Amino acid sequence: MDDDYPLLELFWTMCWFFLWIMWLFLLFKIISDVFRDHELSGWAKAGWLILCLLLPFIGVLIYVLVRGTGMTERETARAKEAETAFQDYIRTSAAGSSGASGAGGGADELARLADLKEKGALTEEEFRKAKAKLLA
53-87 confidence digits (pLDDT tens): 899 889 999 999 999 888 989 889 888 988 888 88
Residue 101 is classified by DSSP as: T
Where are the chain's structural domains?
A: 2-83, 99-136
Encoded amino acid at 9, one letter: E
How far from chain centre, in Å, is Cα 46? Answer: 22
| Residue (of 77, 37, 41, 18) closest to 26 by Cα position | 18
pLDDT digits (tens, 9 = 90+) for 81-101: 888 888 887 887 776 655 444
What pLDDT sits at residue 100?
45
